[in-house]
Amino acid sequence: MFDPAVGRWIPTQSMHQKRFSSAAAELNGAIYAAGGFHGENYLNIPSMNIRRGFHSLIVMNEKLYMVGGYNGENMVSSVEVFDPRKNSWIVSDEMKEARGYATAAVIGESIFVISGLKDGKLLTDTVECYKADQVFVDPWWAFVGE
């Protein structure tokens, strides 16, 4: 793990299972690695509702947001939210466009999902925004610039 306070990589505990195309984020001092592929069941936290890899994982409001990705057949627009206090995933509103390999960032109370692949070869040039403070406004996800 990289420690920015000392500017170097430091040894840490290994993951319980080898995997690729997972995503990771820090929440309350713990590193969560979620999703990805390895051919076995996950052990550390409950499995997501929708299998995926090549997704984005970000933290907002003390929860993990698993956004988009590839389910082994297609890119997906699905979003799941992990609440560590409840130790469970819930399915949230889908993005407008399926995508994997995207970049995601949190600014204030908004999640931005930027670019990515919309199928195995075609890049998307769109940016979608989820505003947490507008949970009762349809749609929750909107293209930036619309």
Residues of the chain with pLDDT under 50: 41-43, 136, 139
Taking the domain 10-143, which CATH number applies? 2.120.10.80
CA 142, CA 131: separation in Å to the nearest integer? 9
pLDDT for position 42: 42
Per-residue DSSP letter, 10: -
User: Domain coordinates of the chain in residue numbers?
Assistant: 10-143
Give the pairing type, strands 63-67 and 56-60.
Answer: antiparallel
The string over 45-54, giving b where at least 16 C-beta atoms fall within 10 Å of a residue's C-beta and e elsewhere, is eeebebebbb
pLDDT tens figures, 3-19: 667 877 777 777 666 66
- Show Cβ contacts of residue 12 under 8 Å, excluding neighbours closer than 6 positions: 1
pLDDT for position 19: 65
CA 69, CA 117: separation in Å to the nearest integer? 9
